[in-house]
């Protein structure tokens, strides 16, 4: 296959994949194949890892016919690459030490004009003496010294999306490289120029694209897929019941039957991935969440709480 870029699926090995995760993997595979790209699988194991989960997830994907065109990479094997990128930011004074606890950040966000989930820059102005004193109390994280308030990306499904950019964590206070830096470095290093993932990560895309620009790396094409949700509109989780391949196999559902279900939920032919690929059209993908009722998974429940997401310019809070 010609090297014309790549798409990817990058799960965290924290447990078995549920049908919502598998559906996103199917969409990512279809996006990549329909645009002549390679398809890669990357294991994002810097944070949550459960013994045996990686092997389970790769087997589950293979059961649906989804495999990687290159050897599977693990983030835990790539820390030298992340440290190099971090050093480049430090050398340009684009990173600073942060001593805030989660409670500190939550309290700052609850103050007037605070943005929940966004860092207010509390430690930006610390003096050298302040930092030396604080280091004796707790090890610092490293944060990006962002120079913009917002950044915009183009998303195939959501349109132009602008969102606030804050001083994201680059390295946690336990020394582990943070997700936002690792994923930007990995995508560029692997030639990933198409990122298809759940739309719960839509607000992360502008942050990551901005960080890529600081590192002189190209931003990928994004496509954020509506999530699988419960009938109440809550994001699907394994705790919701029989939603993994293992669960469904115990009910007599084969991987082929689950694949057919996933393809049907996307409005695609149910016979195989190749048949679905022949009919794949991004303009016809559902723009609303996929409602999953574990007690009747192979039916189509309604979701009064779910609203379609239109493809238009967006400014996210």
Give residue-wise pLDDT tens across range 252-281: 999 999 999 999 999 999 989 999 999 999
Q: pLDDT tens for residues 102-130? A: 888 877 766 546 666 688 889 999 999 99
45 and 98 inside one domain: no
* Residue 216 reports pLDDT greater than 90: yes
72 and 94 inside one domain: no
Q: pLDDT tens for residues 126-135? A: 999 999 999 9
162 and 246 inside one domain: no
18 and 112 inside one domain: no
With a pLDDT cut of 70, the percent of the chain lying above it is 89
On whether residue 206 sits in a domain, the answer given is: no
Higher pLDDT, 291 or 177: 177
Domain boundary (149, 164, 183) is at 183
At 246, is the pLDDT very low, low, confident or very high (cuts 50, 70, 90)? very high
Domain boundary (129, 159, 183) is at 183
Mean pLDDT of 48-71: 96
With a pLDDT cut of 90, the percent of the chain lying above it is 77
Rounded Cα distance between 314 and 194, Å, is: 20
Three-state SS for 279-296 is HCCHHHCCCCCEECCHHH
pLDDT for res 118: 81
Domain boundary (183, 198, 218) is at 183
pLDDT for res 114: 60
Of 1-10, 87-96, 155-164, 308-317, the poorest mean pLDDT is in: 308-317
pLDDT for res 2: 41
Separation in Å, CA 109 to CA 119, 121, 163: 8, 11, 17
140 and 155 inside one domain: yes
Binding positions for ATP? 238
* Residue 28 reports pLDDT greater than 80: yes
179 and 258 inside one domain: no
61 and 98 inside one domain: no
* Residue 304 reports pLDDT greater than 50: no
On whether residue 218 sits in a domain, the answer given is: no
Mean pLDDT of 23-29: 98
Rounded Cα distance between 171 and 180, Å, is: 10
On whether residue 190 sits in a domain, the answer given is: no
42 and 85 inside one domain: no
On whether residue 212 sits in a domain, the answer given is: no
On whether residue 174 sits in a domain, the answer given is: yes
On whether residue 309 sits in a domain, the answer given is: yes
- The per-residue pLDDT of the chain, averaged, comes to 90
142 and 175 inside one domain: yes
On whether residue 278 sits in a domain, the answer given is: yes
The enclosing domain of 86 has a CATH number of 3.90.800.10
User: Domain residues for 138?
Assistant: 79-183
Question: Is the pTM of the predicted complex or chain greater than 0.85?
Answer: yes
Binding positions for L-glutamate? 8-12, 44, 179, 197
**Helical residues (DSSP H) of 64-195, grouped into ranges:** 79-91, 102-110, 128-135, 179-189
pLDDT for res 301: 46
Mean pLDDT of 225-239: 87
The enclosing domain of 22 has a CATH number of 3.40.50.620
- CB atoms closer than 10 angstroms to residue 116: 9
Rounded Cα distance between 58 and 56, Å, is: 6
pLDDT for res 310: 44
Mean pLDDT of 283-311: 68
Higher pLDDT, 299 or 21: 21
61 and 147 inside one domain: no
On whether residue 216 sits in a domain, the answer given is: no
268 and 255 inside one domain: yes
Binding positions for Zn(2+)? 98, 100, 119, 123
Binding positions? 8-12, 44, 98, 100, 119, 123, 179, 197, 238
pLDDT for res 50: 92
**Is the alpha carbon torsion for 204, 210, 214, 215 positive or negative?**
positive
pLDDT for res 47: 87
* Residue 306 reports pLDDT greater than 80: no
pLDDT for res 207: 96
195 bridge partner residues: 8, 222
70 and 136 inside one domain: no
- The tally of domains found in the chain comes to 2
């Amino acid at each position: 296959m010609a090297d014309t870029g790549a798409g990817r699926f990058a799960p965290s090995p924290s447990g078995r994949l549920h049908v919502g995760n598998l559906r996103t993997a199917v969409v990512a595979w279809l996006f990549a194949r329909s645009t002549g790209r390679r398809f890669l699988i990357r294991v994002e194991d810097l944070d949550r890892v459960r013994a045996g989960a990686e092997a389970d997830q790769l087997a589950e994907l293979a059961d649906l016919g989804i495999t990687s065109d290159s050897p599977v990479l693990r983030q835990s094997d790539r820390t030298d690459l992340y440290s190099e990128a971090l050093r480049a930011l430090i050398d340009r004074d684009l990173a600073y030490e942060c001593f805030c606890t989660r409670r500190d950040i939550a309290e700052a966000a609850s103050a007037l004009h605070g943005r929940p989930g966004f860092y207010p820059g509390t430690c930006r102005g610390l003096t050298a003496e302040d930092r030396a004193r604080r280091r004796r109390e707790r090890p610092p994280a490293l944060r990006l010294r962002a120079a913009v308030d917002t950044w915009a990306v183009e998303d195939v499904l959501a349109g132009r999306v602008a969102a606030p950019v804050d001083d994201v964590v680059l390295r946690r206070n336990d020394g582990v490289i943070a997700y936002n830096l690792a994923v930007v470095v990995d995508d560029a290093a692997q030639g990933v120029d198409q990122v298809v993932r759940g739309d719960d990560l839509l607000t992360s895309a502008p942050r990551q694209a901005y960080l890529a620009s600081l590192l002189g790396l190209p931003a990928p094409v994004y496509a954020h897929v509506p999530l699988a949700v419960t009938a109440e509109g809550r994001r699907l989780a394994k705790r919701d019941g029989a939603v993994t391949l293992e669960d469904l196999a115990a009910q007599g559902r084969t991987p082929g039957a689950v694949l057919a279900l996933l393809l049907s939920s996307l409005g695609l032919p149910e016979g195989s991935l190749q048949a679905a690929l022949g009919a794949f059209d991004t303009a016809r993908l559902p723009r609303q969440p996929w409602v999953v009722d574990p007690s009747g998974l192979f039916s189509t429940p309604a979701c009064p709480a779910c609203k379609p997401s239109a493809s238009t310019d967006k400014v996210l809070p």
